[in-house]
Structure 1
């Protein structure tokens, strides 16, 4: 079983130009069910959806935003003081090349290694909503040729039963009101506002 978990500010599903589901802050999860999947794999995915810490605490979120932001009025770099020493002259000339772009580049290099440290809460901790969307195309094999091979996807009738069991488990474990879903087997338009972006891919074969 595969799941693509996205942290969102909002997400919705539309079928035949009619919106059937919508959530606010929380997770949008695309689910792909494979031929060998059982309740065991389903339980693993349910646990991860509800337990993964993908959200910052309110305090961490505020401090993080301020620490990563670049002042709109940065302190201008002072001109180098003239010196007859060659070493000091070279150092001052180097300082003149420190620009806003250099600062931004340094930030971009540092952010990926530190941003996730602020993630202290799960979707349950923030009372967030969860939108589940079935997507058999997640099981595609693309190693041979250019046409996706979907033979690893479980047949519709069997996968629908396991999908419905997954929805039921999420609702009973978490909250019936906070779990929303798409329409199994339908052509859907899924509108996702990814927050971050933050996207986590789970595969029960990798656990």
Structure 2
């Protein structure tokens, strides 16, 4: 699985002019299931993200995790993270998991993050979404597991 995480002070997802998910302090997690991902990947990714020490401590150092700060996660499916831009000008997405598999792995990832005691909100798999965020730092990290 592949994820792009952004530390935020707030984030939301809107579908058809309706906010369907929003958080305050925490992480916006854009996630993509890749072709060949197995059922263990969502838990591995969730655990890794929950333990990343990317929130500042009292000394101003990135030394606290999402769990440590009691932050939330806004989790949005985004197959375009699988874009292959190595040839031509039109990205290819053949490295992304098929929609049925992608949905199952995305939903499992959401459950795995929630099971770690992290408040979660989500986008809508496969929908045309508008994502709004205030990136804190900015801190943006790419993860492949």
- The answer for the alignment partner of 1:165 in structure 2 is 108
Structure 2: stretches of 5+ with no match in the other structure:
none
CA shift for structure 1 position 43: 1.9
* Cα displacement string for residues 98-132 of structure 1 (whole angstroms, at most 9, x for unaligned residues): xxxxxxxxxxxxxxxxxxxx111001001001100
Distance 1:9 1:123 in 2: 12
SS in 2 for 1:125: helix
2:130 is the counterpart of 1:189: yes
Structure 1 outlier segments of 4+, above 3 Å: none
Normalised by the length of structure 1, the TM-score is 0.68
Match of residue 69, structure 2, among 126, 145, 150: 126
Tell me if the contact between 2:11 and 2:28 (Cα under 8 Å) persists in the aligned partners.
yes
The answer to whether residue 33 in structure 2 is matched with residue 29 in structure 1 is: no
Local SS of the residue matching 2:94: coil
SS of equivalent residue, structure 2 residue 74: strand
Secondary structure, counterpart of 1:151 in structure 2: coil
The answer to which structure has the higher helix fraction is: 1
Corresponding residue number in structure 2 for 1:200: 141
The 2-side partners of 1:159 and 1:195 are apart by 29
Q: Which has the larger radius of gyration?
A: 1
Instruction: Count how many residue pairs are aligned between Structure 1 and Structure 2.
Output: 145
Post-superposition shift, 1:40?
2.5
* Residues in 1 aligned to 2:12 and 2:112: alpha-carbon distance in whole angstroms: 21
- As a proportion of its length, which structure holds more strand? 2
Q: CA RMSD in A?
A: 0.9
Deviations 1:49-104 (A, max 9, x none): 100001112x213xxxxxxxxxxxxxxxxxxxxxxxxxxxxxxxxxxxxxxxxxxx
